[in-house]
Chain A
Amino acid sequence: DAGVTQSPTHLIKTRGQQVTLRCSPKSGHDTVSWYQQALGQGPQFIFQYYEEEERQRGNFPDRFSGHQFPNYSSELNVNALLLGDSALYLCASSRTIGGYTFGSGTRLTVV
């Protein structure tokens, strides 16, 4: 049984570009949360998706948007990339409320 799968694992983008990160949740999980982890910091909550809707959002600008598909997989989109968006982006899945399973993350570098 696969856990949470994130793609790509590494990505380099140029400032001003747009990026899409993908997450497939653990089998049986219906809720997907996204986190941004800057180097040396703890993860920061971006948003959470449930039933294809954004259910909760952290303190991130509208440049960060997402989507959840009927199969519960999710995408994180970031527009107009800034150098400060360079970070590890983590996806975590859960079943409504419960224990989390984390993916290995996507390392985004903005140059």
Chain B
Amino acid sequence: KNEVEQSPQNLTAQEGEFITINCSYSVGISALHWLQQHPGGGIVSLFMLSSGKKKHGRLIATINIQEKHSSLHITASHPRDSAVYICAVGIRGGGADGLTFGKGTHLIIQP
């Protein structure tokens, strides 16, 4: 079983829809990251969370430490949001903070 599980793996939605991507993890973490990767490979860090909720523009990320679960929400989705969204965690107690990644959610927003 992977330490970081994401769902769904693939998601196609219409422009304007509210999008939710989920991430569950099975280990104690120091922080959880939501990342965006566009075709070609470059990764952009969206959020780093250790508790609660963060908002940036149309993106909202929440984390529930007790339930070991995080969600990424996109409001008023737009075709330019189409990308792979990756959840990654820093494992607590490891000293260093190399990330463990989920497999990603491939999001397509159709006009």
Partners in one complex: yes
Chain A interface (Cβ < 8 Å from any Cβ of B): 31, 33, 35, 37, 41-45, 47-48, 50, 55-56, 58, 88, 90, 92, 94, 97-105, 107
Are A58 and B43 in contact, with the CB atoms below 8 A? no
Are A105 and B99 in contact, with the CB atoms below 8 A? no
Within 8 Å CB of B100, what residues of A? 45
Are B41 and A100 in contact, with the CB atoms below 8 A? no
Are B30 and A58 in contact, with the CB atoms below 8 A? no
Main secondary structure of the interface of A (DSSP, over half): strand
Are B43 and A90 in contact, with the CB atoms below 8 A? yes
Residue of A whose beta carbon sits closest to that of B90: A97
**Known contacts A97-B30, A101-B45, A104-B41, A42 near B104 by CB under 8 Å:** yes
Are B98 and A90 in contact, with the CB atoms below 8 A? no
Given the complex of chains A and B, what is the CA–CA distance between A33 and B94 in angstroms? 14
Residue of A whose beta carbon sits closest to that of B44: A102
Within 8 Å CB of B41, what residues of A? 37, 88, 90, 104-105, 107
Could you jot down 13 A-B contacts, CB within 8 Å?
A31-B97, A42-B88, A42-B101, A45-B100, A56-B94, A56-B96, A88-B41, A102-B42, A102-B44, A103-B42, A104-B41, A105-B41, A105-B43
